[in-house]
Amino acid sequence: MLSIIKSITLHGLEGFIVDVQVDVAGGIPCCDIVGLPDISIRESKERVRAAIKNSGYEFPSRRIVINLAPATIKKEGSAFDLPIAIAILMASGCINEFSHEKVVFLGELSLDGNINGIQGILPMCIEAKRLGIKKIVVPKDNVKEASVVSGIEVIPVNSLNQVVAYLNGQILIKNEQFNFENLYKCNYDGNLDFSEVKGQKNIKRAIEVAASGAHNCLLIGSPGSGKTMMARRIPTILPNLSFDESLEVTKIHSIAGNITSKNPFIVNRPFRYPHHTISKTSLVGGGKIPKPGEISLAHYGVLFLDELPEFDKSTIEVLRGPLEDGKITISRVNAVLTYPCKFMLVASMNPCPCGYYGSDKECNCSSQSIKKYIGKISGPLLDRIDIQVEVSSVKYENLNSKNEEESSAKIRKRVEETRKIQLDRYKEIGIFSNSELTPKLIEKYCKLDSKCKEILEKAFDKLGLSARAYGRILKVARTIADMEKSENIKATHLLEAIQYRSLDKKYSK
Ligand SMILES: Nc1ncnc2c1ncn2[C@@H]1O[C@H](COP(=O)(O)OP(=O)(O)OP(=O)(O)O)[C@@H](O)[C@H]1O
Ligand SMILES: [Mg+2]
Ligand SMILES: [Zn+2]
């Protein structure tokens, strides 16, 4: 007898309905899974067999063929356990026929028949709804995450027996409703705040400029000068995530398995802080069962590369494309997937191998070793960092001062205003911020008067700036002008922007 149960699988963030077809027929007892399953799914039949037996049903000792259709789509993970078990039980007559067309089943079985949570529930629910599914049966562990999606009935289950009883009409299970509004409010992480950073007026200003124009930035400074402390607080001054942005961020983290029932919805901008030993795959995504990498987990937030020169050059090199495109495409056998990755890159480094070049403490590094140290950073990456600032240690009188420092909320309000100006200006051309201006657009939107042109020319001569600095300076000057709500770039804006080329200045001599 043939039975069909629906399930869903993801490629990147896109969902595909999978028909789990089970045929139980006479012949030598065996069980085969066909239809491009990966190893984890082939193991599924052992789990399903044990779960069915330990739930008190008979596993048919006949010839069982399980087909996952369409066969053209590669299927991964353990979420097909439940639909396979249900299809087998239906084919062997333990479950009454029901109208299965608009119902999707997801869940991993343990050997005793209990149902375990799986990864990627949120995007699966969103996609199921988009594909016209009305009801989704999910592991109880995942119910909070699943019920973020409205307009689809979410049925939480914790054992195979319970699902059978539900499908046979012996018990009712309530559709879980989720009060997202409350969560959205109470989940906001108020732990970190810029008011904790004493002094450092110039650096805070540079960081505000970066946040205002979505510019990538590099903090250069000696150990203990507060680079990490400030970087961590950058998400708190970026505009709040909108609901749609939150949803997109949560989807990615759901696939990565980072979502807990206590925290089913991400409302804070992500801050990702990968160690410098990170592999390429962990950074950009991929792997045998493909997972989003750090750059996608940082989507709409901050990717912080602490101690940039320590990173493997070839690892960092792979960031170039994603930084440009805001998405990453991962090619695999049978599939190509795309994950979004729009993030603000923040990097930090010491000024020299010992860390104290240019600070109050003595530096013993030779100029050659310093050159080599800086040379470790990939030029093309540096090309994509508009703002570079030197952080000196906070002065004792600042650290000890009772002066109230400005809160993140206050800074964020200004950042939001400046972002709005850019959104309005660029709404016709499909970019969001000054950092995205191409050379052609720079020509159009960053016009300089003759006085400014003169300043820039002098700066180039005097500081020996490279051609690559030119566009960066104009873009940053545009942001500073926007922060002052000035239509045109003025000399003061330009002069400040030139300040943010520390690396060019410091090491050009
Ligand atoms: N401006 C500041 N206001 C208050 N505390 C500060 C400030 N700067 C540094 N600190 C204190 O010093 C500690 C060290 O700072 P942090 O770890 O951010 O330095 P760092 O520049 O990242 O150093 P490293 O190069 O060693 O990583 C912070 O945790 C914080 O307690
Ligand atoms: Mg640090
Ligand atoms: Zn040194």
Give me the residue spans of the domains in the chain.
2-178, 194-409, 437-509
- Distance between CA atoms of residues 453 and 451, nearest Å: 5
Q: What is the residue whose two structure tokens read 């911020």?
A: 433
Backbone angles phi, psi at 32, to 5 degrees: -125, 140
Which residues of the chain have a pLDDT value below 50?
186-188, 509
Nearest residue (by CA) to ligand 1, atom 18, is 226
Q: What is the pLDDT of residue 187?
A: 47
Mean pLDDT for the chain overall:
89
Q: What distance in angstroms lies between residue 308's CA and the mean position of ligand 3's atoms?
A: 16
For residue 316, the tally of other CB atoms under 10 A from its CB is 22
* C-alpha–C-alpha distance, residues 237 and 231, integer Å: 11
Q: Which atom of ligand 1 is nearest to the CA of 227?
A: 21
The encoded tokens of residue 78 equal: 């353990």
Q: Which ligand is nearest to the CA of 368?
A: 3
CB atoms within 10 A of CB 282: 18
Provide the pLDDT for residue 190.
Answer: 63
Question: Which atom, in ligand 1's list, is nearest to the CA of 219?
Answer: 21
**How is domain 194-409 classified at the architecture level of CATH?**
3-Layer(aba) Sandwich (3.40)
Say which ligand is closest to the CA of 359: 3
Q: What's the rounded Cα separation, in Å, for the pair 192 and 411?
A: 14
Atom of ligand 1 nearest to the CA of 225: 21
Angle (deg, nearest 10), helices 201-213 and 467-483: 90
Which pLDDT score, from 0 to 100, does residue 185 have? 54
At 186 the pLDDT is: 47
- Distance, CA 195 to ligand 2 centroid (Å)? 19
CA distances from 327 to 292, 322, 413 (A): 11, 5, 28
Distance 311 CA to ligand 3 centre (A): 19
Residues with CB under 6 A from ligand 1: 197-200, 221, 223-229, 350, 394, 399
Amino acid at 490: K
Q: In 3D, which of 499, 455, 460 has the Cα closest to residue 476?
A: 499
Which of 218, 231, 211, 197 has its CA nearest to residue 411? 211
Strand ranges for 359-429 from DSSP E: 387-391
Q: What is the pLDDT of residue 177?
A: 66
Ligand that comes closest to the CA of residue 369: 3
Which of these CATH numbers, 3.40.50.2300, 3.30.230.10, 3.30.70.890, 3.30.380.10, describes 2-178?
Answer: 3.30.230.10
Question: Which protein residue has the closest C-alpha to ligand 1 atom 15?
Answer: 226
Q: What is the pTM of this model?
A: 0.82
